[in-house]
């Protein structure tokens, strides 16, 4: 991938990219886990940009907003910065404190978009990575109405959208049921410090897929700078 020497904001400063999301985009301590997200590696593919990753494990659009995590960016994020917004995993979950119905999810995404624009930043919705769920030899679709709501919101608000779901689905499907295990947190006994007996996790990623997903998001950001 070409170096992004043109990643400057309108003031000529290094472009800043802010990430709001859940654990599938957040930063993990390599001393404690082999879990790695695309957001954690995005800077590797955009070396001329400044990455501010505010994604946090366990957050949905509702809890991220309720905890003031978006408001905390006020005064920091500004003109020409990018605001990447990726949620759904916890919004569609069953925990009531996190859960949102699809319509509420869409309204919350609109709040993120408005916030970014009011600060002079460019909001970009990023669809959630796929869940590795196989049945009868076929990778199953994931996120259902939440994925549809994000795409609908992008169209309604005339907001840029990076369809990471489609790319992640393609990558996992092409890898196949067994090979794709290495892309997610499938670990054996003793391999993962926090899970001494092993772990079968089809939501969170390891480095092989995180690299591919980060490279895709970076490419889409580079492409928008060339238009």
Please tell me the predicted confidence (pLDDT) of residue 226: 57
Residue 57's contacts (CB-CB under 8 Å, 6 or more residues apart) are 22, 23, 26
Residue pLDDT, tens place only, 136-155? 999 999 999 999 999 999 99
Answer yes or no: 197 catalytic. yes
Answer yes or no: 54 catalytic. no
Please tell me the predicted confidence (pLDDT) of residue 192: 80
| Domain map (residue ranges) of the chain | 16-225
Low-confidence stretches of the chain (pLDDT beneath 50) = 1-6
How much is the pTM? 0.92
**Of the listed 143, 186, 204, 209, which one is catalytic?**
204
Answer yes or no: 209 catalytic. no
Please tell me the predicted confidence (pLDDT) of residue 184: 97
Please tell me the predicted confidence (pLDDT) of residue 227: 52
The CA–CA distances, whole Å, from 43 to 88, 124, 126, 191 equal 23, 17, 16, 27
Residue pLDDT, tens place only, 11-46? 556 889 999 999 999 999 998 898 999 999 999 999
Please tell me the predicted confidence (pLDDT) of residue 196: 82
The three state secondary structure string of the chain is: CCCCCCCECCCCCECEEEEEECCCCCCCCCCCCCCCCHHHHHHHHCCCCEEEECCCCCCCHHHHHHCCCCHHHCCCCCCCCEEEEECCCCCCCCCCCCCCCHHHHHHHHHHHHHHHHHCCCEEEEECCCCCCCEECCEECCCCHHHHHHHHHHHHHHCCEEECHHHHHHHHHHHHCCCHHHHHEEEECCCCECCECCCEEEEEEECHHHHHHHHHHHHHHHHHHHCC
Which candidate, 49, 12, 108, 31, places its Cα nearest to that of 39?
49
**Of the listed 23, 60, 180, 209, which one is catalytic?**
23
Which candidate, 152, 155, 157, 130, places its Cα nearest to that of 141?
130
Please tell me the predicted confidence (pLDDT) of residue 42: 98
Pick the CATH number of 16-225 from 3.40.720.10, 3.40.50.1110, 3.30.230.10, 3.50.50.60: 3.40.50.1110
**Of the listed 31, 118, 178, 197, which one is catalytic?**
197
């Amino acid at each position: 991938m070409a170096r992004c020497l043109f990643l400057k904001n309108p003031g000529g400063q290094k472009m800043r990219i802010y990430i709001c999301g859940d654990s599938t985009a957040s930063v993990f301590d390599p001393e404690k886990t082999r879990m790695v997200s695309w957001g954690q590696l995005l800077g590797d593919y955009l070396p001329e940009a400044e990455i501010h990753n505010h994604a946090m494990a366990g957050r949905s659009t509702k809890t991220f907003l309720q905890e003031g995590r978006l408001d905390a960016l006020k005064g920091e994020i500004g003109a020409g910065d990018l605001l990447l917004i990726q949620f759904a995993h916890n919004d569609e979950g069953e925990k009531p404190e996190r859960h949102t119905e699809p319509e509420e999810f869409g309204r919350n995404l609109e709040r993120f978009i408005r916030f970014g624009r009011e600060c002079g930043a460019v909001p970009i919705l990023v669809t959630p990575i796929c869940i590795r769920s196989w049945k009868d030899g076929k990778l199953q679709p994931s996120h259902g109405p939440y994925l549809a709501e994000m795409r609908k919101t992008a169209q309604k608000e005339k907001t840029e959208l990076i369809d990471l779901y489609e790319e992640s689905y393609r990558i996992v499907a092409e890898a196949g049921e067994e090979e794709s295990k290495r892309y997610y947190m499938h670990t054996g006994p003793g391999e993962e410090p926090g899970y001494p007996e092993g772990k079968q996790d089809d939501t969170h990623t390891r480095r092989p897929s995180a690299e591919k997903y980060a490279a895709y998001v970076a490419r889409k950001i580079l492409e928008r700078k060339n238009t």
